[in-house]
Amino acid sequence: MDGTGKGIIACMSDDMNGAGSGSGGFGGFGGKKLERKLSDRWLAGVCAGLADYSGIDVSLIRVIFAVLTLFGGVGAIAYVIAWALVPEEGEKVSVAEKFMNKGAG
């Protein structure tokens, strides 16, 4: 806990989504939130979410993940980590937060 009554994963998610940071921070692209998209998704919506958040074409994001996966598997590892830490569109918590909260309760 960090003194706010929230766990570390919740604080990380808030930081990524810009909660509590007036200047933006990681979630500060014009008030956009980094979240896995329900539309235009192939697997878990990570690439579509990153594309929407950054303004980069989703095809380019997918190619980057594919190339990184072919050269050492870093793309697949990054994708799984993003799937776990980035909340799905319309959700307030990520998969990792749900798992941590289930274990704590």
pLDDT surpassing 70 at residue 1: no
The per-residue pLDDT for 62 is 92
Confidence of residue 7 (pLDDT cuts 50, 70, 90): low
The per-residue pLDDT for 94 is 81
What's the CA gap between 24 and 59, in Å, rounded? 26
The per-residue pLDDT for 26 is 46
The per-residue pLDDT for 4 is 54
Confidence of residue 60 (pLDDT cuts 50, 70, 90): very high
12-21, 66-75, 87-96: least confident range: 12-21
Confidence of residue 43 (pLDDT cuts 50, 70, 90): confident
Mean pLDDT of the chain: 74
Confidence of residue 69 (pLDDT cuts 50, 70, 90): very high
